[in-house]
A and B are shown apart, each in its own frame.
Chain A
């Protein structure tokens, strides 16, 4: 035990005291923020060029009402002939030709877009949208009911369904959108940790094997202790990183958001928290958004999630790190590990796909099963926990996960013991099996 401790300490110091660790830990959240904001920023600054579209309108109804915008510039050709315009268009730099048939109001399919370049969904939708509106208006006009448009607008209803968790001490507002967002985000964090820190374990074992430091250590440290020290050492680094991020998140949710949010929204949040009746009193506001905000600002909720995240992260990490350690011990070069890491990567990627399905229904049979199977459980559970699942499911999943981890470490230890002295050849799965039996 003393030796495992010494190895963990060494591992921890070597990684955490490095500048790169401090920098990544602090920059990562910023980077994530930047990444999620990037598409909007890019959209804002980089506008697509305006596309010119010639319009030949045989009906004479649609063309005058088409509105050119930043994206599309409509050029109406009076009495144009389609064939000659198409030829002319090819030589010009315009986007294409829009042909509208004379019976467009009665037969809305009599409209074609001929493009000189590859078409784009956005342009097509923009054109179709405009034309639809114009034809709708024409048809309404034909019915000859005055003010019909205004009547229709008055009739239109938009429902915001507020959901409350039944059975909690006070009926707590929940937001499925927020839950699934938090779930996906956590699942992604976990996925990231399994892959990144798992391969750190693998790579550093390969490195130690090649630098022959293992030969020096092995006389005083049992191979199993060496492997556990390595896994737990890297785990402690990952844990430190997660803890720093967790603290940052809690600080943000407890202090920063209330400070920057407008008062009326905060009042809405208070109302949602107070219960259903009060929530009904909040008019005219996006209930969903307020419920989401309420969840994020609930420090207790965040702490609980962080705790569960840590439990599943540790379990998942230990399980996968044991596999990565076995692979690292059995090869000489990172390149050789490729083939062996495939069966490790598959369940991780599969779990990630399942995670996206959690968004639709956190309790569908497939999702529930995958949150019990230890290899997919850590990631899938991250998606399910924020939406609130029975405690027994969490406990069962955790017990299965940690039990599997113990079995996996035992197997990995056997491979590791033989593998660290094997140099110069790439083992096959058959050989790994032999090493386990050995």
Chain B
């Protein structure tokens, strides 16, 4: 799978600080790519560099393996974090204006807009004034306009901020639907649960540096600490003979069901299969699962880890 965007050694300095310090990112075509990082880490700057809004001091951006040009911008849909609309305009007229700026003809824009308005069930907003829309309503319009010209690459900066859970869900579904139709999606967020749900790849940026990059599954697995959750019939003491093989971190016996749930740590060099076999010998095993750390934990650990360095 080739990369739709390759950022090579991007450095961007502002007068008082460095926003991006030698950041390289590869965004595979067809992926949903999460850009994570604490506030002020440089996510928005990276997005602006990819968008050609900001010119990097060093490094370059490749769009489908060629240096990005102004023409490529028409194949990108960008929803900025801070987004506004002209308050005095009518919704339909405004959407048309933005759509035409993206290179659509008036007729094409009109047809596609009508489709989207029907899909979101907001046909009757067409002649409303923008100032009469709630924040969430305005967000929907902005979303529609962002994806209207069917860009190959979609960039959402903090798309979920300001959305209520219902609309956030709608947005998630639309993002996945767009990916299924062949678009690549980049989004920046603090919302870790959404990362686990919809991202295939992530990059974690902290203090202007790329500190963690890769597939979400791989990252979570590689950050696993060999901790497993075990559930078996019997009391806690039944586990005592296994002390050599593994270390019980915590365990809890439930009298009513007669089940014990425990968290155990297995040394890296131990063979998992033989541990399972041994446990299976000793107790009536109900479940044995690896506890994979959540992105949230990885995020916090990575950020703190980079602080300590």
Contacts and interface: CB of A to CB of B under 8 A. Distances in A.
Contacts of A215: 80-84
Interface residues of B, number: 26
Given A3-B101, A6-B97, A10-B97, A219 B86 contact: no
B102 interface: yes
B74 interface: yes
B33 to A, nearest CB: 17
B80 A6 contact: no
Contacts of A7: 101
A213 B85 CA distance: 5
A217 B97 CA distance: 10
A257 interface: no
Contacts of A214: 84
Interface in B62-88: 70, 73-74, 76, 78, 80-88
Contacts of B78: 219
B89 interface: yes
B260 interface: no
Nearest to A435: B15
B51 A212 contact: no
Interface string A192-218: 000000000000000010111111111
Contacts of B102: 220
Interface string A1-13: 0010011001000
Nearest to A216: B83
A217 B101 contact: yes
Contact of B142 (A210, A216, A218, A222): A216
Interface in B33-78: 51, 53, 70, 73-74, 76, 78
Contacts of B53: 218-219
Contacts of A81: none
Contact of A216 (B15, B85, B87, B103): B85
B84 A220 contact: no
A426 interface: no
Contacts of B76: 219
Interface string A209-252: 01111111111111000000000000000000000000000000
A434 interface: yes
A222 B88 CA distance: 23
B85 A211 contact: yes
Contact of B84 (A10, A14, A216): A216
Nearest to B149: A220
A6 B83 contact: no
A211 B87 contact: yes
B86 A211 contact: yes
Interface string A173-200: 0000000000000000000000000000
B51 A219 contact: yes
Contacts of B80: 212, 215-216, 218-219
B198 interface: no
A434 B97 contact: no
B86 A221 contact: no
Given A14-B88, A211-B87, A434-B15, A220 B82 contact: no
B168 interface: no
Interface of B: 15, 51, 53, 70, 73-74, 76, 78, 80-89, 97-98, 100-103, 142, 145
- Which 7 residue pairs are nearest across A and B when measured between Cβ atoms? A212-B84, A211-B84, A219-B78, A215-B80, A212-B82, A213-B84, A220-B101
Interface of A: 3, 6-7, 10, 14, 208, 210-222, 434
Given A216-B83, A219-B80, 4 more contacts: A208-B84, A213-B84, A214-B84, A216-B80
